[in-house]
Amino acid sequence: MVSKATVIMIILFSATLVSAGIGLYTYLSYAKPLKALYPQPSIYDVLSKVSYLQYKIYSPSMGNMYVILYNNITYNNGTAILYNSTNNYVMEEVTYKYNTSGLVSLYSVMGNETIPINSTYYYAFYSSAFPFSNPYTGTTTLEPFPGIGPLYAIYYIGSEYGVNWKLVSQGQPQTSSPYASINLGFVDIPFFGRNYKGIDLSITPSTTTLSSAIKFPLTMSAAIVYINGLPVATQLMLSMSSANYLLFNLTAIRTI
């Protein structure tokens, strides 16, 4: 699934982050979200730790929306609802089942149809965004999709871009490349009335076709914290342009 040609450049806030003593202390203090991203957390590992999730989405073209995730860890299934609060209607409702191997099924309640389990829809479910291409105009836009974006998009999209999460989790840089770059910084992130030690992460592509699932130059930025064993993006932006983006803000989460 990961493009073989894609290599990412990791730019850390300090060139001697791991070798310098003070840099190592800083890294260890803030690196839990990175440590939780490698080895790769399976969808089972992620969903077995959360029962409820809500985040607000803003799109310049569609206004304010919410995604609400109800997850049943006993039966390994759940429902994700996409609600437009600007116009007050349910845009989409998706039910899903999963096991230790991954997603088993996706079903659109609104469309009354089974959604194929393939790389494109994995992308949609994991990132909470669906790339929609207009065959008449040739333009591509980002459409919101009910999923688990703030929980999983960081690893999934990064992997699509060729991020070596093992090196990142160890604070090591990757080789520079013309395909994309990733910026990583350690910061205190305010969330639910307290400060979490976390990371700011941004991925900026420089090519138009990156992988089988991502066929357009998608920029991602996220503020990531570690909550009860989960790497969680408290804020996530997926963007194609200044007028075509989805901004996610996590507003509620219930972990197990």
> Per-residue pLDDT tens for 219-242?
889 998 888 878 889 999 999 888
Residue 211 pLDDT: 58
The dihedral formed by the CA atoms of 117, 119, 125 and 127, expressed in degrees to the nearest 10 = 180
Residue 90 pLDDT: 94
What's the pTM?
Answer: 0.82
Looking at the predicted structure, is the pLDDT value of residue 187 above 50?
A: yes
- Per the listing, tokens 């309640």 go with 109
CA geometry: angle 151, 18, 161, nearest 5 deg: 40
More confident residue, 255 or 132: 255
Distance, in Å, from the CA atom of 9 to the CA atom of 178, rounded to the nearest integer, reads 9
> Per-residue pLDDT tens for 27-69?
677 777 877 777 777 889 889 999 999 999 999 988 999 999 9
Residue 114 pLDDT: 92
**CB neighbours of 162 closer than 8 A, spacing ≥ 6?**
2, 3, 5, 6, 7, 8, 179, 180
- Parse the chain into domains and list their residue ranges: 8-255
